[in-house]
Amino acid sequence: MLNIAVLVSGGGTNLQALIDAQHRGEISGGKITLVLSGKADAFALHRAEKAGIPTEVLLRKSFSAQEEYDRSLLEILSRYEIDLVVLAGFMTIISNHVVRHYENKIINVHPALIPSFCGEGFYGLKVHEAALEKGVKVTGATVHFVNEVCDGGPIILQKAVEVLPGDTPEILQRRVMEQAEWKLLPKAVSLFCEGRIKVADGRATIKED
């Protein structure tokens, strides 16, 4: 059974999707054993507490140097014997040092079809604002491994979602979450825990049952 840490900063709806999938028995090879928040008042912390999952709060601003923050993050992850790190709306940048410690063991959900609307500055509602600004007719979500390039790691799963006339960033964000993110993230975590994701030449492939 793999130990899963979910890193959050906000509302935690993706965390909730993972908790619900776990309760339905859909993540058979792993268990969420830690929720770590980058913000002290993240609503996601309440979701974790309600589900009986241990929580930690780690603020980037509490550390002057990146190395000190990294050391503290790695110490927490190793104390909980974490095998898989899931970034579910985590808004603190993960350094290359940490990425190297957990190579192809950090999964991120991004609310667009990478390589569209991704990279530095594209997070949360900003992604949907940019999609609407461009006038794309289809957007979606991507779950990928985290590597040293922002939103550039091997893509595990993607799902397209329609953009509809009259959409606001908030309406589009909600549709992308409901139709894509909340399904893709638990699925990718489950596949990982079953050892069914292989990475070669910078690309991820899923092994059939």
| Binding-site residues from annotation | 12-14, 108
Listed residue (129, 132, 138) closest to 160, CA to CA:
138
- Number of neighbours of residue 59 by Cβ within 10 angstroms: 13
| 188 lines the binding site for ligand GAR (CB under 6 A) | no
| Site map 85..124 versus ligand GAR, x via CB under 6 A | ---xx-------------------xxx-----------xx
Candidates 13, 92, 139, 190; binder of ligand GAR (CB under 6 A) is 13
| 14 lines the binding site for ligand GAR (CB under 6 A) | yes
Rounded Cα distance, 49 and 188, in Å: 24
| Total number of residues that touch ligand GAR (CB under 6 A) | 17
Listed residue (160, 49, 72, 147) closest to 113, CA to CA:
160
Quote the tokens at residue 7.
């890193």
Question: Is there a catalytic annotation at residue 128?
Answer: no
The DSSP secondary-structure symbol of 90 reads -
Candidates 3, 11, 51, 116; binder of ligand GAR (CB under 6 A) is 11
Task: Write down the least CB distance from residue 142 to ligand GAR, Å.
Answer: 9
Angle (CA) 97-80-5 rounded to 5° is 70
Quote the tokens at residue 117.
């609307």
Binding interface with ligand GAR (CB under 6 A): 8, 10-14, 44, 88-89, 109-111, 123-124, 127, 177, 181
Q: Which residues are catalytic?
A: 110
